[in-house]
């Protein structure tokens, strides 16, 4: 397993090694999707890894899609906010946070939200499956709005479109290759796949993203995808960055953490 991850990190390096500013360390976490069990395990691993590596100004980046699909979205939101009281955390908004927020006022958005894991999110806030099944869309919207605390709504609404640290850009889905970084549209940042994923040129930064599921981290010259399918494959991935070094931490269903590191 370690050899496999080393090969991933060494594959097709960029011409100029990417780095984070001196004295800083960054951990970015992929799509959690309501898996509080994996999230708690990965938090523990990051805290241990950060301590073992010595003193640094450490920032954690959550790449979005904290909610939906998995069973414990409410717990993930609460834990993410609580962790931010003791850690410097940057929160990126994903397309699932966008859908949840839009569903509060737009019934059409609620329909899409329910198709992509919204029922599990609503249930995690205490609305029973029988009530969800019996309600029409307007009634369910009212139930959802009553169940989800305004503090959680405001927290999710405060999430950013993207964050740049040194030579790395952190975003949920990706960026449009033909648009300058400062002009990227929020919708692209939260939803794009193509032409971002197949783009072969240099973005000017290395983009760390989630949104598109791969069984192992998707390491390319100018982007690294770390959505390894927490709700599908049972694996939640983080990437660590310091100087020009990169490494992965993973929490899995089997509770057998996998760590790999290599210079890149």
Q: What is the dihedral of CA 193, 199, 205, 206, to 10 degrees?
A: 70
Could you tell me if 2 and 261 are in contact, meaning their C-beta atoms sit under 8 angstroms apart?
A: no
pLDDT given at position 16 = 78
Report how far residue 175's alpha carbon sits from residue 189's, in angstroms, rounded to the nearest whole number: 5
DSSP one-letter code for 1? -
| Ramachandran area for residue 65 (φ above 0: left; ψ -120 to 50: alpha; else beta) | left
Structure tokens, 256:
């057998």
Residues 6+ apart with CB under 8 A from 93: 64, 156, 159, 160, 161, 172, 186, 190
SS3 120: helix
Report how far residue 79's alpha carbon sits from residue 84's, in angstroms, rounded to the nearest whole number: 9
pLDDT along the chain (264 residues), means of 10: 49 71 98 98 98 98 98 98 98 98 97 96 97 97 98 98 98 98 98 98 97 97 97 97 98 65 39
Report how far residue 161's alpha carbon sits from residue 149's, in angstroms, rounded to the nearest whole number: 23
Record the pTM. Answer: 0.92
Q: Which fold has domain 2-94+159-263?
A: Purple Acid Phosphatase; chain A, domain 2 (3.60.21)
Tokens 């990706």 -> residue = 174
SS3 content of the chain, % helix, strand, coil (to 5): 35, 20, 40
pLDDT given at position 253 = 87
Could you tell me if 209 and 63 are in contact, meaning their C-beta atoms sit under 8 angstroms apart?
A: yes
Tokens 């509080």 -> residue = 36
The residue ranges of every structural domain in the chain are: 2-94+159-263
Q: Is the peptide bond before 195 cis (omega within 30 degrees of 0)?
A: yes
């Amino acid at each position: 397993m370690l050899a496999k991850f080393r090969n991933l990190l060494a594959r097709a390096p960029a011409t100029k090694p990417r780095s984070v500013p001196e004295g800083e360390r960054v951990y970015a976490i992929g799509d959690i999707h309501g898996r509080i069990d994996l999230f708690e395990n990965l938090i523990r691993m990051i805290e241990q890894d950060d301590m073992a590596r010595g003193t640094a100004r450490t920032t954690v980046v959550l790449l979005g899609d904290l909610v939906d699909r998995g069973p414990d979205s409410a717990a993930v939101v609460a834990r993410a906010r609580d962790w931010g009281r003791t850690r410097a955390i940057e929160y990126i908004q994903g397309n699932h946070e966008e859908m949840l927020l839009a569903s509060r006022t737009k019934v059409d958005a609620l329909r899409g939200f329910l198709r992509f894991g919204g029922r599990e999110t609503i249930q995690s806030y205490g609305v029973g499956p029988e009530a969800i099944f019996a309600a029409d869309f307007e009634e369910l919207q009212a139930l959802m709005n009553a169940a989800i605390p305004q503090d959680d709504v405001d927290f999710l609404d405060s999430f950013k479109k993207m964050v740049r640290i040194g030579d790395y850009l952190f975003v949920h889905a990706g960026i449009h290759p033909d648009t300058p970084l400062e002009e990227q549209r929020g919708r692209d940042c939260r939803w794009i796949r193509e032409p971002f994923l197949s783009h072969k040129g240099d973005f000017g930064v290395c983009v760390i993203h989630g949104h598109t599921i791969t069984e192992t981290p998707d390491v390319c010259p100018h982007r690294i995808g770390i959505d390894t399918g927490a709700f599908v494959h049972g694996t939640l991935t983080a990437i660590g960055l310091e100087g020009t070094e990169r490494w992965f931490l993973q929490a899995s269903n089997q509770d057998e953490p996998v760590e790999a590191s290599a210079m890149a």
